[in-house]
Structure 1
Amino acid sequence: MSECKIDHSHEEVKKKYESQKEFLPNEMHVLFDDFFNGAHTQDILNNMFHLLKKYDLASEDEKAERIGRLNLILKNI
């Protein structure tokens, strides 16, 4: 994933999550619910957006890597 210079809002991240939710492991949904109930830095919002972006189109290896990175963020906030 290349680095993006656009700052993504809390709402944009939530919309991106909603569009990819059905492709993510079910056990992550509760973690995302907790995530969206909090306030986060712009860096975290941007990272979350890009990890979710086109998740459904990623290879299985890429999905596994993204799930690992998402879990790191979601479990450490």
Structure 2
Amino acid sequence: MGECKLDHPHEDVAKKLESQKSVLPADISEKLDRFLNDTHPQETLNTLFHLLKKYDLASSEEQQERNKKLLTLVS
């Protein structure tokens, strides 16, 4: 995942999560839903967006790595 200079608003992050729910593990999806109920710094939103971006196209190894990062982000 390269460095992105765009700020992704909460709405875009929520849409990206919705688009990836069918491939995300259910427990992570639920945690992310709860996580997005709160307000977070822009940097956190950007990180979350990029972890979710093209998640469905990532290899299973890459998905596992992203899952670890997603869980770290929401805990």
The alignment yields a C-alpha RMSD, in angstroms, of: 0.7
> When you count helix as a share of all residues, which structure comes out higher?
1
- The alignment covers a number of residue pairs equal to 75
5+ long unaligned stretches in structure 1: none
Unmatched 5+ residue regions in structure 2? none
TM-score normalized with structure 2 length: 0.96
| Mapping 1:1-77, distance limit 5 Å | 1-75=1-75
Identity %: 52
Query: How many Å apart are 1:30 and its aligned residue?
Result: 2.2
Q: Please report how far the alpha carbon of residue 36 of structure 1 lies from its aligned counterpart in structure 2 after TM superposition.
A: 1.4
